[in-house]
Amino acid sequence: GQQVMQIPQYQHVQEGEDFTTYCNSSTTLSNIQWYKQRPGGHPVFLIQLVKSGEVKKQKRLTFQFGEAKKNSSLHITATQTTDVGTYFCAGNSNSGYALNFGKGTSLLVTP
């Protein structure tokens, strides 16, 4: 079955440094989504990427979807303490089916 791998598992940065998490799928995805889960909270939808090579930005966050639609990345520029949390990628091979989540990258930002 489809597997979604995500690295790194943990990342500790100083406030102001950049951060990137990477997601790879064993199969071609119809779309990929990114979620953020704050400590003690539930996953919150950030963005969905559908097109091959797509790049989307949300303020300091940049999301990319690979040309082969098998990998994706989330890059945060100049991290802030409010960025703390676990970032999950999630994909599905068939549009409309339930999501396969990566293991997540836990980001810690120290002032």
Closest by CA to 55, choosing from 67, 63, 66, 46, is 63
| Piece in contact with other proteins (CB under 8 A), picked from 14-22, 54-62, 65-73, 93-101 | 93-101
| Piece in contact with other proteins (CB under 8 A), picked from 17-25, 34-42, 53-61, 66-74 | 34-42
Contact between residue 78 and residue 19 where contact means Cβ atoms under 8 Å apart: no
Decide: is 11 part of the binding site for other proteins (CB under 8 A).
no
Contact track, other proteins, 43-62, x by CB under 8 A? xxx--x--------------
DSSP SS3 for 18: coil
Which one among 25, 92, 107, 109 touches other proteins, defined by CB under 8 A?
Answer: 92
Backbone angles phi, psi at 83, to 5 degrees: -80, -5
